[in-house]
């Protein structure tokens, strides 16, 4: 870049003044639109760019710990109840060594905490209810099929069902075919979905209560549910 297009900006770090070459147009605009007495703050994202620039100026043997290293070191120390020396917080090599020395114990501890959390009855119940709500949200389209099937079981003809449901006879025939299909579902997901659909149909207006009731039945009959109820962790 031509020297005529460059200005020297100053970056103050503690007692040190750093001169940085910047394009003149950027320099002029920043100078024009900011008050000389104003202190300009940067978002942390931009601050990381400045951090990288400053780190590049330092010799390898005194490289400070990065912000990411410091956050990870503190997380490890808090989890394992360890003391952290100033050297670890200030020196990148020491921070890396601290992380390498403790990462296995840290991961084991985190896995233990996760397992404990996942096995708490209240957490399992929340997961069960979430899955049941998912199934319930998928069952509403089944209601018309179930209704048509129940009316047929009660002895109504296709024309009578069509009149009762305010649809065409061909539509009723389609509903009945669908009803036969869903009653013959063998896959676990389909069986559960149909079971929930039927219960909500039988208790129209009380969907929330039905979901709670199913959740309670599941919890009361089998606490370890993964082998028969498809929970998502």
d(CA 141, CA 157): 22
At 79-128, the pLDDT tens digits run 999 999 999 998 989 999 999 999 999 999 999 998 888 778 888 888 88
Domain edges within the chain: 3-61, 67-113, 121-221
d(CA 138, CA 193): 7
β-strand pairing of 16-23 with 6-13 = antiparallel
Count CB-CB contacts under 10 A for residue 124.
18
- Which pLDDT does position 38 carry in this prediction? 63
d(CA 190, CA 142): 11
Count of residues making up the chain: 233
Segment 41-59 shows an average pLDDT of: 73
- Which pLDDT does position 138 carry in this prediction? 65
Contact assessment for residue 106 and residue 158, using Cβ atoms and an 8 Å cutoff: no
Instruction: Give me the percent of the chain exceeding a pLDDT of 90.
Output: 28
* Whether residue 227 has pLDDT greater than 60: no
d(CA 93, CA 100): 11
Contact assessment for residue 132 and residue 126, using Cβ atoms and an 8 Å cutoff: no
At 169-185, the pLDDT tens digits run 999 999 999 888 777 76
d(CA 28, CA 9): 10
Indicate if the alpha-carbon torsion angle 62, 68, 71, 73 is positive or negative: negative
């Amino acid at each position: 870049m031509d020297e005529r297009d460059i200005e020297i900006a100053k970056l103050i770090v503690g007692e040190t003044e750093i001169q940085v070459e910047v394009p003149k147009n950027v320099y002029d605009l920043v100078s024009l639109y900011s008050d000389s007495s104003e202190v300009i703050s940067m978002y942390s994202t931009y601050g990381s760019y400045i951090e990288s620039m400053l780190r590049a100026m330092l010799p390898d043997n005194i490289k400070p710990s990065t912000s990411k290293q410091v956050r990870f070191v503190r997380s490890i120390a808090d989890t394992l109840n360890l003391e952290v020396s100033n050297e670890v917080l200030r020196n990148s090599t020491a921070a890396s060594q601290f992380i390498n020395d403790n990462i296995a114990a840290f991961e084991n501890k985190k896995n233990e905490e996760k397992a404990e959390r996942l096995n708490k009855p209240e957490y399992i119940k929340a997961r069960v209810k979430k899955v049941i709500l998912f199934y319930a949200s998928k069952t509403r389209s089944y209601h018309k099929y179930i209704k048509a099937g129940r009316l047929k079981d009660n002895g109504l003809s296709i024309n009578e069902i069509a009149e009762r449901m305010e649809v065409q006879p061909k539509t009723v025939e389609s509903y009945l075919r669908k009803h036969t299909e869903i009653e013959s579902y063998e896959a676990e997901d389909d069986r559960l979905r149909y079971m929930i659909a039927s219960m909500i149909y039988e208790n129209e207006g009380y969907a929330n209560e039905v979901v709670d009731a199913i959740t309670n039945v599941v919890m009361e009959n089998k606490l370890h549910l993964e082998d028969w109820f498809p929970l998502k962790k």
